[in-house]
Structures are given as structure tokens and as C-alpha cells.
């Protein structure tokens, strides 16, 4: 019995290295943001229009060469923890990003949201992306400014030329 297992393993091993190294290298800027982050979410409350701040944690996982998963945890008061899940697949060569939020990732919306990359700049400390897409009756503008030590994600609503900051996530390494 053990000889069969060893024989089967021996036939599989030569194929394993070819399979493991066959994919493209991950985007270096996305690779740099993997791991745990601590920070806060500042957001404009839809009902009261007040700015509120919640302590938060973020875990970033590389899903592929140009795709990441975000797991966000918010402390929303005593005994109330909020979880959010996001997936971002970047198509840098086509100038767009596909964003799946927690509901989308669960299968409720197959395609998620496609956003245009309108700015993509590299610096010694990281990368800055500005993404835009139409949302209901306004233009949604997202800024993702990230590197190995800091990560900022903010959303603005642009209506009739007026820009309103909707929310801003600010993270650093723990």
C-alpha cells in the first residue's frame, strides 16, 4: 500500500514545480500591502450628516497577481462589531478595477462594480490610484493611496461640480 502512495507521489512531483511557477508575478504594489493594518474609518452619517469615527482593523490578502481581498472589522460601540468584505481586481493594462463588496462576493451581484482608473502614480513610498464610476445620481470618486507602511481609501461624491467626502479609511501597520 505504501509503495503505491510513494509511486503516485513520485509521478506527481515533476509536474508540481511547473504548475507552481506558471503564473505571472504579483503586482509589487499590491504585494506590499498584504497583512494586518490598524486605523480608523471616518464617515459622514447618511441620516444626521455628522462626521463619525470608528476604530477599525484591516486584513489584506493577495488573491492573484492583480487581485486583493480586504477584510474590515469596525468597533461600533460596546458589544457591536461590524464586518465588511471586499475584493478588488485590477486591470491596470485596461485602466479599470472591478470591485466586489461583501454582498457581491456572496453572489447577489455577479459582476460587482467596474471603475475607471483615472490616475495611477507610483512614488518611492507606494502607489496612488484614483478611480471613478457612476453611482445613482452622482459620480463616485475613490482614492486609494497605499504602500508598505500606510494605506488610505476614501470615497467622494461629485454632484453638480460639488465634491462631498463620504468616508475615509486611514490605516498603518500595527
Which grid cell sits at 159? 454632484
Q: Which residue has the cell 504548475?
A: 19
Measured CA angle at 56 (ends 59, 128), to 5 deg: 65
Q: How many CA atoms lie within 13 A of 96 on its CB side?
A: 9
CATH T-level topology, domain 25-172: Lipocalin (2.40.128)
In order along its 174 residues, the chain shows pLDDT tens digits of: 454 443 344 444 444 444 456 789 999 999 999 999 999 999 988 788 899 999 999 999 999 999 999 999 999 888 899 999 999 999 999 999 999 987 544 544 445 789 999 999 998 889 999 999 999 899 999 999 999 999 999 999 999 999 999 999 999 998
Domain ranges of the chain: 25-172
- Tell me what pLDDT residue 7 has: 38
Q: Which residues, other chains included, contact 145 with Cβ-Cβ below 8 Å and sequence gap of 6+?
A: 126, 127, 128, 129, 151, 152, 153
Predicted TM-score (pTM) of this structure: 0.81
Amino acid at each position: 500500500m505504501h509503495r503505491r502512495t510513494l509511486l503516485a507521489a513520485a509521478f506527481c512531483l515533476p509536474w508540481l514545480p511547473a504548475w507552481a511557477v506558471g503564473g505571472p508575478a504579483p503586482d509589487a504594489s499590491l504585494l506590499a500591502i498584504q497583512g494586518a493594518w490598524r486605523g480608523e474609518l471616518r464617515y459622514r452619517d447618511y441620516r444626521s450628516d455628522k462626521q463619525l469615527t470608528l476604530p477599525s482593523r484591516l486584513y489584506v490578502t493577495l488573491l492573484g497577481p492583480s487581485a486583493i481581498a480586504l477584510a474590515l472589522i469596525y468597533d461600533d460601540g460596546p458589544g457591536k462589531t461590524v464586518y465588511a468584505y471586499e475584493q478588488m481586481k485590477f486591470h491596470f493594462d485596461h485602466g479599470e478595477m472591478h470591485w466586489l463588496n461583501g454582498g457581491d462576493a456572496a453572489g447577489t451581484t455577479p459582476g460587482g462594480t467596474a471603475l475607471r482608473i483615472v490616475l495611477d502614480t507610483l512614488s518611492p513610498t507606494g502607489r496612488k490610484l484614483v478611480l471613478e464610476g457612476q453611482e445613482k445620481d452622482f459620480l463616485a470618486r475613490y482614492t486609494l493611496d497605499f504602500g508598505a507602511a500606510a494605506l488610505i481609501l476614501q470615497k467622494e461624491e461629485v454632484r453638480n461640480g460639488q465634491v462631498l467626502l463620504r468616508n475615509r479609511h486611514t490605516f498603518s501597520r500595527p
